[in-house]
Amino acid sequence: MKQLIVTIIGKDKPGLVEQLSDTVYLNHANWVSSSLSQLGGQFAGIIQIEVAAQYVITLRQALTAIEDLHIHIVDDHTQTAVPYIAQQLTVTGNDRRGIVKEVTQHLTLLGVNIAKLKTDTRSAPNWGYPIFVAEFQLHTPPEINTDMIQQQLEQLADDLTIDIETLS
């Protein structure tokens, strides 16, 4: 079986995920894993698909033929797993330009890989000014402990709250 990674972007509309899942199913493939999202009227996603070698070409053709979507397909050449500790990092603070840049820069310096990132800006309860929240799923090298990450990130600004939790 071949593993394919499919990235999708296009204007959101009802039935889009069904159309993608039908295409996968009708071309003898299995939808293994995905992360799909809608932001500002646009749909974006990434899907891992498993398919027998004899169906790869027809599946690729069927997916790229879907109208109004930009689809990119690559073979999954997963490398040998590097040991890591999975952690959840939440950064909360007054919204300002550059928070994501600063946090990701410090994580990179520590050798931490960002597996997932979700950000949002919301109104602060009782205050009304915007609060920025970033939720990171991290893959941390075993030699980097939670305290090291916390220390590095707390130096960024006094108004940032840093919460780190090791996932099991």
Res. 85: pLDDT tops 70: yes
- Taking residues 16-30, what's their average pLDDT? 97
- d(CA 47, CA 32) in angstroms, rounded, equals 7
Q: What is the pTM of this model?
A: 0.82
Res. 80: pLDDT tops 70: no
Tell me the β-bridge partners of 2.
51
Confidence of residue 79 (pLDDT cuts 50, 70, 90): low
Task: Please write the tens of the pLDDT for every residue from 87-140.
Answer: 999 999 999 999 999 999 999 999 999 999 999 998 877 777 899 999 999 999
**End-to-end CA separation in angstroms for the chain:** 29
Two tokens, residue 91 = 């950064």
Long-range CB pairs of 125-132, under 8 A, 24+ apart, other chains included: 129/94, 129/95, 130/94, 130/95, 131/92, 131/93, 131/94, 131/95, 132/91, 132/92, 132/93, 132/94, 132/95, 132/96, 132/99
Task: Please write the tens of the pLDDT for every residue from 139-158.
Answer: 999 999 999 999 999 999 88
- Taking residues 31-55, what's their average pLDDT? 96
Domains of the chain: 2-75 (3.30.70.260), 85-166 (3.30.70.260)
